[in-house]
Structure 1
Amino acid sequence: LLTPGLRGSKAPAGQNENLQGLKEKLCLMGDANSKNYRPACSLCPVNWKWFGGDTCFYFSEKEATWQESEDDCFSHNASLLMLKRKSKLISISQISQKRSYWIGLSYGVDGWSWIDDTKLSTKRMDWIDLSSKQNCAYLFYRKSRVYSENCYEKYPWICEKAAVQLI
Structure 2
Amino acid sequence: MILFRTPLKPLTIFVLQTTQSLPQRPTAHPSEVTTTARVQVQQLRWESYGEKSYGFSEEMLEWSASRMECLDHSSDLVIIKDRKEMEFLRNKTRAADYFIGLEYSVEGNKWLWLDGTETKGNLFTMKPNKVDIDCATLRGGEVSPTSCHQRSHWICEKRNG
TM-score (norm 2): 0.65
- Structure 1 residue 55, shift from structure 2 partner: 0.2
2:115 match: secondary structure: coil
| RMSD, aligned α-carbons | 2.0
Runs of 4+ aligned residues of structure 1 deviating over 6 Å after TM superposition are none
- Structure 1 residue 94, shift from structure 2 partner: 1.0
State the distance in 2 between where 1:139 and 1:86 align: 14
1:95 equivalent to 2:106? Answer: no
Q: Map of 1:5-24 to 2, 5 A cutoff?
A: none
- Structure 1 residue 46, shift from structure 2 partner: 8.1
The amino acid that maps onto 1:56 is S
2:80 match: secondary structure: coil
2:100 match: secondary structure: strand
Aligned to 1:28: none
Picking from 79, 82, 95, the partner of 2:79 is: 82
- C-alpha contact (below 8 Å) 1:80/1:159 kept by paired residues: yes
- C-alpha contact (below 8 Å) 1:129/1:145 kept by paired residues: no
Aligned to 2:57: 60
- Structure 1 residue 127, shift from structure 2 partner: 2.3
- Cα 1:126/1:58, change in 2 over 3 Å: closer
The amino acid that maps onto 2:48 is W
Q: Map of 1:7-156 to 2, 5 A cutoff?
A: 47-51=45-49, 53-96=50-93, 98-108=95-105, 109-110=107-108, 111-121=110-120, 124-125=121-122, 127-133=124-130, 134-141=133-140, 144-156=141-153
- C-alpha contact (below 8 Å) 2:135/2:146 kept by paired residues: yes
- Structure 1 residue 129, shift from structure 2 partner: 2.6
1:98 match: secondary structure: coil
State the distance in 2 between where 1:139 and 1:120 align: 14
User: How many residues end up aligned between the 2 structures?
Assistant: 115
State the distance in 2 between where 1:48 and 1:98 align: 17
TM-score (norm 1): 0.62
User: Percent identity, aligned pairs only?
Assistant: 27
State the distance in 1 between where 2:78 and 2:129 align: 21
The amino acid that maps onto 1:130 is K
Specify every segment of 5 or more residues in structure 1 that has no aligned partner in the other structure, as ranges: 1-44
**1:42-85 CA distance string (max 9 Å, x none):** xxx9841112x110000001101111111111111101011122
Aligned to 1:159: 156
Which protein shows a greater Rg? 2
The amino acid that maps onto 1:73 is C
State the distance in 2 between where 1:74 and 1:158 align: 12
